[in-house]
Structure 1
Amino acid sequence: MGSSKSKNKAKKLQKNQSVQIDKQLSKEKEKLSLDLSILLLGTGESGKTTFIKQASILYKGGFNELDKQLYPKTIRRNAITYMKELISAAQILELDLPEEIEQAFFQFRRFNLFQNSDQQSHIFDDIERVSQDDYEPTDKDILFCRIPTTGINFLTFEHKSRNWKVIDVGGQRSERRKWIHTFDNVNFLIYVVAINEFDQALFEEHTQNRMQESLEFFSEMVNNQYFKDKNCILLFNKMDLFKAKIQKVDLNVCFPEYNGGKNYENALSFIQKTFLSVAQNSNRTITPLYVCATETKEMQDLFEQVFDIILKHLN
């Protein structure tokens, strides 16, 4: 009799333990389903790091005091690098220094001879403030600070009842292929294109067009065995610079087959179609979006659009 009661008690205890284990597994499964990972891709200078910085401002409370203590040295180093690049380009163009530099710097028909960026204008406009002994960088200064991504960087945050992880990997040639196989389980890809760079050359190889390099890298990534089934957002960045430049420089300097003239709509349509045409898997979705990543309000609207697109495809 006592033995029977003992057995029943043991069975009841075992059942309760099983129920608790099932509940715990269910919670873990639910928690896992709330975690979403995004792999951020693109060539050097495309704006991936700015994307990460904007996400930090909008969803992590911005840059902390330690960040602001570390950045002044890097920002000043950027300024010196930009000055060297500008002087080097001026010497190539055989300009008299300094009178002709500013004029040539903003003449788009010679723009491709400068390894310039939108970061340069921001620093040069505020060079006196940046050079002060008590200089403290603003969020915008940090946004415009150029630090090439090396290795792998992560940003995690909570939004829309989800845990998001954005993974940023080095875009320079030397950084590629180190990490491809590592991220075959990501939920979504975002590929960033600096659309204004159609007449500029790489830092690593001065004879290679930046947009052609970006197109080749995009083709390599979206058709890679690890990513060929992943949905993707094709993010065209630096739209403001592109709109200004296309009025001065014909897109056929990058794509000889283009015959749409110095027309914003024609050039944008051609670039978009060219990128989309290299994706071989027609069953997945590649969504083009457009932004100027240095504008925080614009980026906030873009992020919400990105989150909605990703969640829609996962449901």
Structure 2
Amino acid sequence: MNRFQGCLREGEQEEKGQLEVIRETRRQLKEHKRLYLATRRLLLLGGNESGRSTIFKQAKILAGKALDGKREQATAVHNIRSNLKADIETVVATVKHLSPDAGLDHPEIQLSLDYIVSASAQRDFSFPPEFYEHARALWEDAGVRDCCERARLCGLMDCSGYFLDRIDVIKQPDYEPSHQDLLHCRVHTPGVFETKFQVDQVSFHLFYPEGLNYSSQVWAEYVDHLSAIVFVVDSSSYDLNFSGTNKLQEALNSFRSVCCTCPSSLCVLLFLNKQDLLAEKVLAGESKIEDHFPEFAHYTPQDATPEPGEDPRVTRAKYFIRDKFLSISRACGSEGCRCSAHFTCAVDAENLRRVFSQCANLV
């Protein structure tokens, strides 16, 4: 009898243990479902050089994943130095393109020009000390700087000069990239990347297709699980051309495709990026928006809210570009998706944090 009672107690304890496992499994599944439903899942779309990769890197920094380990840091250092080399090669190409109108302050700088041209043909470049010296000599030449500034403001050159201003830092053997260095670094690796981060206790899961065509065939498989699509635009590209097409017009065409093919249940978050560069171009007055979009000459914003201290010319320009995109989302009619526009500067961490906080209430 005692043996029977012992077996009975063992059976009850085993059954109790199984019930506890079932309850814990149900609790975990319920918590997983709660977290899943509370997470905003975003797909990051937009054209090349729109700032998508910078926004993704900002998201990784928000997640505390700027660089993982020494190997990733060494890769970042190499990529940044390669960006520096590409930038100085762009400078040399610009000088040669505008020659003889672009004079050099120091004739001996021709030696540095020839060195960079020679280095550009080398596939496995080792970044010797003389490379940095020649690059700095070129970048410090007033004639070269003036040439590049005119070319950039006229839309003939897409190079911010960020790494060229940091040559003496980047050349150091123990150089460690800063957050801003990582944000400005351009690396194109095809694939779909993702990261998770939080802003104001709201969880986000960001998907980033890099080097892929962002037509519906590419992102359709994500739609059922998405909260919103983030479409990034280079607002300063109104005077740049891509394969014979104005880059801003190309972005408008792509945006139309996204708005007219995504489900009405989705929200499109329009990130009008590079506001700092747009303001710089507008205030410089070298390249006028109306020369590329004639309708701007008669445009008056209806609901503009300027930033504190913002020049009225900048306000008018950025709202004109915003309204160009919003008119497309409205033209898609009831079949189109909701659209919310935001002015962004991807290299400004506080700006992006604020924008993501606003987006949390929209999706």
TM-score tier (shorter): 0.7 to 0.9
Q: Deviations over 1:21-49 (max 9, x none)?
A: 76565444324323331011110111111
Q: 1:130 to 1:255 in 2, by over 3 A?
A: same
Q: 1:308 to 1:171 in 2, by over 3 A?
A: farther
Q: Which residue of 1 aligns with 2:279?
A: 243
Deviation, structure 1 residue 73 = 0.9
Structure with more of its chain in helix, by fraction: 2
Counterpart among 191, 207, 212 of residue 167 in structure 1: 207
Amino acid corresponding to residue 322 of structure 2 in structure 1: Q
Mapped pair 1:68 → 2:73 = yes
Q: Which residue of 2 aligns with 1:208?
A: 245
In the comparison of the two structures, how many residue pairs are matched?
292
Q: State the Cα RMSD in Å.
A: 3.0
The range that moved more, 78-87 or 262-271, is: 262-271
Counterpart among 43, 47, 53 of residue 39 in structure 1: 43
TM-score scaled by structure 2? 0.71
Q: Deviations over 1:103-128 (max 9, x none)?
A: 122226853111x133xx21010112
Alpha-carbon distance between aligned partners in 2 of 1:44 and 1:102, rounded to the nearest angstrom: 26
Q: Which residue of 2 aligns with 1:48?
A: 52
Q: 1:130 to 1:109 in 2, by over 3 A?
A: closer
Mapped pair 1:292 → 2:345 = yes
The range that moved more, 81-90 or 252-261, is: 252-261
Q: Which residue of 2 aligns with 1:156?
A: 196
Alpha-carbon distance between aligned partners in 2 of 1:131 and 1:97, rounded to the nearest angstrom: 28
- Identical amino acids, percent of aligned pairs: 22
Q: Which residue of 1 aligns with 2:324?
A: 274
Stretches of structure 2 that go unaligned for 5 or more consecutive residues are 1-11, 106-142, 300-311
* Matched residue SS, 1:258: helix
Alpha-carbon distance between aligned partners in 1 of 2:355 and 2:203, rounded to the nearest angstrom: 18
Report runs of 4+ in structure 1 exceeding 6 Å deviation: none
The range that moved more, 22-31 or 301-310, is: 22-31
Amino acid corresponding to residue 33 of structure 1 in structure 2: L
Alpha-carbon distance between aligned partners in 1 of 2:233 and 2:317, rounded to the nearest angstrom: 14
Mapped pair 1:182 → 2:221 = yes
Q: Which residue of 2 aligns with 1:5?
A: none
Stretches of structure 1 that go unaligned for 5 or more consecutive residues are 1-8, 311-315
Mapped pair 1:82 → 2:132 = no
Q: Deviations over 1:224-278 (max 9, x none)?
A: 1x44541111111111111110131211233133215893232222211111111
Deviation, structure 1 residue 210 = 1.1
TM-score scaled by structure 1? 0.81
Q: Which residue of 2 aligns with 1:126?
A: 166
Counterpart among 254, 260, 274 of residue 223 in structure 1: 260
Amino acid corresponding to residue 59 of structure 1 in structure 2: A
Alpha-carbon distance between aligned partners in 2 of 1:52 and 1:58, rounded to the nearest angstrom: 10
